[in-house]
Structure 1
């Protein structure tokens, strides 16, 4: 999640210019060509290529409608992704509290020892943290197993490596472990049902995240937005030059840049799980959950929170 570009205004401008340098160069070339051919027409008395302002203005209005719809829809996807992971945070804390407080040797009348219960709690908390990292891996489609290997046994790692949906299978294992705990009297019937409901909630939240990831933004909006954008960018300087002369060059570049940034913002925001600076910071959120859960079981290996990263030109963001 992008926090801010930089504390230095000069670096802000430099960074924005650098990351959009190709488009700015194209805007400049088109604007200069349109203005130069118009000025040459005045000097050598031939009819230069010009366009009336009204149809270009109408085209700009149509483009603004497409960009507005796309950006609103893209932001809805980004915000829903953030709400889904907010739900993961709350449900994970609830799960941790239930695991630590619902389990007891009371139900087995002392047959289950405290160290066995502590081991069971640790196992389920660790596997849940593994599920969080497996879900990140699933959404970002990479194979970084190091975070899972810290919390999940080698046998389970080898078992889920062969399967398509790894986080789903980890939740399935959690369900089986809860059933085993119920049968061995670590938890009783009502508490087993409550924990099963939390597992169901994890399935629901995972499904929502997969829906956001798997639903492609309507192609025709992306396609026609791009077509209208570049048609507008090409036509704009030919309409401005008869009225503004050389001043049409910076004005056309500025207006084209504004529309292009709006289009780029929508394109980036519509895929919130890719791990870019502007995306939902699921790694940071997961680390915070990891810290909370490990502290609940009084672990000796609680990691530090993830600090904001500083990228090129002083950009600050959370992963």
Structure 2
């Protein structure tokens, strides 16, 4: 999640220009060609290309409609992703509280020892944290096992490595272990049902995130937005040159840059799980959940909160 570009305004401007340098170069080149052919066309005995302003204005209006629709839809996807992970935060805390308070030696009439209950609580919490990191791997198409190996047993790691959808299989393992806990009288029937409902909620939230990840933005919006954008960028300086002469170059560049940034922001926002500066900070959210759950079981190895990252040109963001 992008916090801010930089404390230095010069770095801000330079960074924005650097990441858009190709487009800026092309816009400037097109504008210079349009003005040169208008100013010196008569010298070389050709008729300069002059486009009327009205059609170009209409084209710009159509482009604005496409960009507005796309950006609104992209923001909806980004905001839904944030709400999904907000739901994961709340459900994870609920799950942790249930695991820590629902289990008891009372249901076995003294046959189960307290250390067995404590071990089951720790195992369940660790497995859930493993699910969180597996979900990040799944959404970002990564294959990093370091965090999972900290919280899952070797047998569980070997089992889910063979599976396509690893977070789904971890939730299955969690459900099986909850059933075992019920069979061993760690929990009683009502508490078993409540824990099963929370597992179902995790499945629902995971499915929502997978829906965003797996639903490609309609191709024709991306395609025609790009076509209209470049058609507008090419036509704009040829309509401004007769009115503004050399002033058409900076004006055309500024207008084209604004439309391009709008198009680029929509393209980035529509896929919120890629780990870029503007995406949903699922690593940071997971670390916060990890801290909460480990503190619930009084773990001695609680990690520190995630610090904001500093990217190129002083960009500060949460991963």
Aligned-residue offset at 1:47: 1.5
Aligned-residue offset at 1:110: 1.0
TM-score by length of 2: 0.99
Residues 258-282 of structure 1: per-residue CA shift (max 9 Å, x gap): 0000000000000000011110000
Does structure 1 residue 191 correspond to structure 2 residue 191?
yes
The whole-number CA distance in structure 2 between the counterparts of 1:42 and 1:293 is 76
The answer for the alignment partner of 2:142 in structure 1 is 142
Aligned-residue offset at 1:250: 0.2
- Give matches, 1:1-319, under 5 Å: 1-44=1-44, 46-319=46-319
SS of residue matched to 1:77:
helix
SS of residue matched to 1:3:
strand
The whole-number CA distance in structure 1 between the counterparts of 2:110 and 2:72 is 58
Aligned-residue offset at 1:217: 0.2
Unaligned runs of 5+ in 2: none
The whole-number CA distance in structure 2 between the counterparts of 1:246 and 1:235 is 16
The whole-number CA distance in structure 2 between the counterparts of 1:42 and 1:261 is 36
The whole-number CA distance in structure 1 between the counterparts of 2:143 and 2:310 is 25
The whole-number CA distance in structure 2 between the counterparts of 1:101 and 1:155 is 27
Q: Output the aligned Cα RMSD.
A: 0.7
The whole-number CA distance in structure 2 between the counterparts of 1:252 and 1:131 is 51
Aligned-residue offset at 1:46: 3.5
The whole-number CA distance in structure 1 between the counterparts of 2:228 and 2:158 is 50
The whole-number CA distance in structure 2 between the counterparts of 1:76 and 1:198 is 26
Unaligned runs of 5+ in 1: none
The whole-number CA distance in structure 1 between the counterparts of 2:117 and 2:76 is 43
TM-score by length of 1: 0.99
Aligned-residue offset at 1:45: 5.4
Residues 96-145 of structure 1: per-residue CA shift (max 9 Å, x gap): 00000000000001111011000000000000000000000000011000
Residues 51-85 of structure 1: per-residue CA shift (max 9 Å, x gap): 00000000000000000000000000000000000
Residues 192-240 of structure 1: per-residue CA shift (max 9 Å, x gap): 0000000000000000000000000000000000000000000000000
The whole-number CA distance in structure 2 between the counterparts of 1:84 and 1:92 is 12
Aligned residue pair count: 319
The whole-number CA distance in structure 2 between the counterparts of 1:124 and 1:41 is 77
The whole-number CA distance in structure 1 between the counterparts of 2:62 and 2:162 is 49
Aligned-residue offset at 1:38: 0.5
The whole-number CA distance in structure 1 between the counterparts of 2:106 and 2:306 is 39
The whole-number CA distance in structure 2 between the counterparts of 1:28 and 1:76 is 34
